[in-house]
Structure 1
């Protein structure tokens, strides 16, 4: 039920995730940060079974850091996305598949900002914007219509708020709290909380 989304702008990527932890009809908390930093300029948000999400994303993050320690340089966002996809596919064919849907975002100096959609079956796509979870049923058309690759940070905040208002209006399950970050070539920004009024 979690909502994940990310999109690219002019020299940055915005990545956001629902901050509510819930199961069945219960809400456990509304400050859950689903973001995991992978490199200095990339990160991932995940949704799915809570145990799978935490364990798999920590596994990927630690292995990406191990790669940096062994080789002396960080992987690009493209490389991180493909490494993660390979691990999803390998675990899918083992006895311990992870039920985790992800959105990966980053901003490399040579390439610029990028966003990747990755589902639990290992389907990886680079896109200008990506949405996971039930939110994808409501936000795909809105992002298709209003997203522009050269948008400013302020325009990105406005678009994010439009997306959250659309979810509040049309989705039966309340997702009022989101945590988002900007990622640019200088690194991952501080988490910012947003609440739909």
Structure 2
């Protein structure tokens, strides 16, 4: 019986943690910092992340300060009728391309695992490419296997656009052979080679 009460306590604790993370938008903040880290690829990643979090903290402090000033001004003019306040929109610049669909329990229950056959060489190349990728570092072997199984091969010719800035993301790409140039606002930023 102690086992089931411990299990329910762990579940309750996990739900509380999930609510906390959602309430404070932690997952999105971490994802944005990791994307910036992967884009910039600084020599000192810990310092970069520290500065990223300091910027976020300063923006949050400014937002709280402006909310307090706004509420103190409205307190001094209680007789005046003012329009209803709009919800606060964070002033931080966000990357529009980062998004995900919302999945319900029904979606999870009806999920059909996709398996696209691959040879050993392809699986080894995927494993090598993803082992260095921070977005996949937290996955266990089963989760990694599910992702590998769903991946499929696409061939592009030289000069062909793979991802167009501003378009909605469709897939996660791993370069098996060749090299890709990355342009942001029509300016060359970097090249990504095999395994990237």
Q: Is the TM-score greater than 0.5?
A: no
TM-score scaled to structure 1, two decimals?
0.24
Q: Identify the structure with the greater strand proportion.
A: 1
Q: Highest Rg: 1 or 2?
A: 2
Which gives a bigger RCO, structure 1 or 2 (Cα 8 Å, sep 6+)? Answer: 1
